[in-house]
Amino acid sequence: MRKSFFQFLFLIALGVSASAQNREYHVSLNHGNDTNEGSVDKPFKTISAAAQVAMPGDVITVHEGIYRERVAPPRGGTSDKKRIVYRAADNETVVITGSESVKGWRKAQHNTWKLTLPNSFFGESNPFDEQIYGSWYRGKGRPNHTGSVYLDGRRIRETFSKCEVLAPAGEQLYWYAEADGNGGSVLMNFEWIHPSKGELMTSMQASVQGGDQSVCISVVERWPFGYLKDGSVMYFDQVDFGESSDTLYFQAATLAKGGMVEMNLDAPDGELLGTAMVTNTGDWERFAVFPLVMKRPLSGKHTVCFTLKAPAQKMKGETTIWAQFPEGTDPNEASVEIAVRSQVFYPDKTGIDYITVKGFILENAATNWAPPSAEQPGLIGPRWAKGWIIENNVIRNSRCSGISLGRPTFGHAHHYQKLPPRIYAEPDGGQTICQLEDYFENASWTKEEAGFHVIRNNRIYECGQAGIVGCSGGAFSLIEGNEIHDICLDETFEGDEMAGIKLHFANDAVLRNNHIYRTIRGLWLDWGSQGVQVTGNLFHDNETQEDIFVEVCHGPILIANNILLSRHSLNLSQGIACVHNLIGGAITGGKDRCAGGRLTFFYEPHGTVSVGKAPNVGGDLQWYNNLLTGRASFDNWDEPTLPIRYDGNVLSDSSVNSKVKLTQKPDGWYLSMEVDTDWQGAEKRKLVNTATLGKAVTPDQAFTNPDGSLLKINMDYRGIKRNVGNPFPGPFEVKKAGSHEWRVWPVESRR
């Protein structure tokens, strides 16, 4: 008996010891089974099965194959040293995809084929029914869908005409779809109510549960409720019905099938006063007036609420897709896939910290629009968490955004208006009502709950909205070594959140050594990005907008050692130091002219608690040791109020302009330039550091590193030490004049 007792204690201790040790789980599509233990000899078949058992400190090694699943990690690590690592096995190609291979295509006419699938094929949401929508999104009446058709891994473009897809195929191939659905989960935008004998009340005077005060450009000063879904409830307090109103009019907009609006007295379970149906108005921003005939007249002031209900869906509905393929291509024999899943690697809830995702090909996600005032979905992202490392991956073919670091929940439309009477927290949104109030009113959030990510050495391309996007969630993050290209080009929609990288409130983020090209806009830092460093990046062929746009930020922001070669290089707000850059495109900036000038937030140094709002009057810019060529000049400021300081810059003449050239070769991108003998000897320049730059005016904050240490720009673009006594202008430290050529991507000599 005594011996058995000690054996029992030993087994318990052995079990505790074993459970405390980190484990490596293996996943093999070809040799695994989800009932296995996950060892190298008995691997799991799916990544999701391994995710269910992995604990902090564990590693999940995934072996060769195409994994058709969405990985939603149920837990994360507890610290940087106790993270959960998802990695592709060494020297093995591992694809995690949001698409499915489809067969059953039938020839329609010309080179157009037709495929019909049951809606059940798509699971919870149907990307060929779900439309793109959101704040700052403009579809211009086109029902852009989140779905895509891929031929040999390349996306075929959507058209909105069955006639066009049935026509003979041209150089650009198209697909078109019809689905038995409601157009997705979002039903409508809703702006105001007006009793027939009473007073109009707008959504800005009301509250919404399950929605957001969204930005519709057509009614930008009134902020309608948006993202309204089945079950969303709007509360209007003390509505003035005047004397005996028997009808209530309201204004709504939808490009989907709309839905039923149910009006109740006082609360959703109060007296039913009437219903009305909202039908397609032609666009998410094209509002129409709908009458709701009341069951009985109302007089005086009453609190009413409106509950939205989705139209009934067809039982056993189907989706039909028509697609054009090249001459001689049979899609039943070729590699043809369609997007099915909205994300590829994305948690179901917030607060999943310290995850590493390494070495995968992540592709083909039916992502929706990622606005700064609601949840920002991406092909991959932490949702709202901290400490993720996303590195050495290929991320491609996201309908909207590739990597999302951003917002977790609904909110106010970018902090433009006053708080509503009541705030409602989203289920599983990760934030309390008190946190939401602070965020909506002050743009403050808890520093330790999100950010601190590392996004490193990824190749990101073919995304319709952004390569990397994030509102607040990108703060304190390192984004380095990424190649981002072919972002939001040739799209059928527009919007104000489109760029290679688009970040709001990116406090103390560091963006360095990235290559960003062929995008609608290279880098866009917006609202409250403070303490940001943009160093050693290569920008070119971002021809629609700019290489770098800094909007309504107060600084300090450092832009140093960059190569900026697009037609428009820089568009700047204030509190910005530009040091040792090669600038070939136009330079603009100045006072904010949007809506008469906006008040935007600034923060305590290296924190997330805002300490005020201030106008964006322009200026407070510093230009040291830059080399300007081509279109670049300092002559295009728009009435800045704060001072602008210049020292040590070189404005080259036209004879040199023609000799700055970027060339792609088999082993990388090379920059050739003719260096003038006068650039070094014209004047003696100073090494730029924290003391040189002083403080950004509005936040009264010094230019330092994110950890508060002193800043010193003593290395060049390649990681070569600068001449301390007289640094050379531009991003390269050069010792002699004449012809020079440098490999500028990738750059091996960087530290």
What tokens were used for 296?
């009985």
Q: Indicate whether 366 and 469 sit together in one domain.
A: yes
Q: Indicate whether 238 and 326 sit together in one domain.
A: no
CATH of residue 286 = 2.60.120.260
Q: Indicate whether 132 and 142 sit together in one domain.
A: yes
Q: Over 90: is that where the pLDDT of 410 sits?
A: no
Residue 681: alpha-carbon gap to chain centroid? 45
Q: Indicate whether 124 and 267 sit together in one domain.
A: no
157: in domain: yes
The reported pLDDT for the residue numbered 327 is: 95
Q: Indicate whether 81 and 15 sit together in one domain.
A: yes
Q: DSSP for 296-319?
A: EEE-SEEEEEEEEEPPPPPTT-EE
The reported pLDDT for the residue numbered 20 is: 59
Give mean pLDDT, residues 271-298: 97
Q: Over 50: is that where the pLDDT of 655 sits?
A: no
Domain end point (choices 287, 309, 331): 309
Binned at pLDDT 50, 70 and 90, residue 218 comes out as confident
What gap in Å lies between CA 507 and CA 503, rounded to an integer?
Answer: 10
What gap in Å lies between CA 107 and CA 515, rounded to an integer?
Answer: 43
Binned at pLDDT 50, 70 and 90, residue 645 comes out as very high
> Per-residue pLDDT tens for 57-101?
999 999 999 999 999 999 999 999 999 999 999 999 999 999 999
167: in domain: yes
Taking the CA atoms of residue 126, residue 128, residue 132 and residue 138 in that order, the dihedral angle to the nearest 10 degrees is -170
669: in domain: no
- Collapsed DSSP state (helix, strand, coil) of residue 137: strand
Tally of domains within the chain: 4
Q: Indicate whether 43 and 139 sit together in one domain.
A: no
Q: DSSP for 230-254?
A: TT-EEEEEEEE--S-EEEEEEEEE-
Provide the 8-state DSSP code for 165: H
Of 40-49, 204-213, 448-457, the one with minimum mean pLDDT is: 204-213
Provide the 8-state DSSP code for 531: S
What gap in Å lies between CA 701 and CA 553, rounded to an integer?
Answer: 13
Q: Over 70: is that where the pLDDT of 415 sits?
A: no
Q: Over 80: is that where the pLDDT of 225 sits?
A: yes
666: in domain: no
Nearest-CA neighbor of 651 among 725, 596, 729, 706?
729
The reported pLDDT for the residue numbered 259 is: 96
Give mean pLDDT, residues 504-515: 97
Residue 438: alpha-carbon gap to chain centroid? 23
Q: Indicate whether 698 and 583 sit together in one domain.
A: yes
Nearest-CA neighbor of 551 among 581, 519, 528?
528
Host domain of residue 248? 186-309
Q: Over 70: is that where the pLDDT of 463 sits?
A: yes
5: in domain: yes
The reported pLDDT for the residue numbered 678 is: 81
Domain end point (choices 309, 327, 352): 309
What gap in Å lies between CA 323 and CA 113, rounded to an integer?
Answer: 5
The reported pLDDT for the residue numbered 222 is: 78
Give mean pLDDT, residues 4-33: 67
Q: Indicate whether 192 and 299 sit together in one domain.
A: yes
Of 250-254, 384-388, 405-409, 535-539, the one with minimum mean pLDDT is: 405-409
Binned at pLDDT 50, 70 and 90, residue 417 comes out as low
Q: Indicate whether 71 and 118 sit together in one domain.
A: no
CATH of residue 143 = 2.60.40.1180
Q: Which residues of 714-738 are buried (b: 16+ CB within 10 A; e: fewer)?
A: ebbbbeeebeeeebbbbbbbbeeee
Q: Label the pairing between strands 523-526 and 318-324.
A: unpaired
Q: Indicate whether 712 and 628 sit together in one domain.
A: yes
Distances (CA, A) of 457 to 71, 475, 484, 513: 21, 19, 10, 9
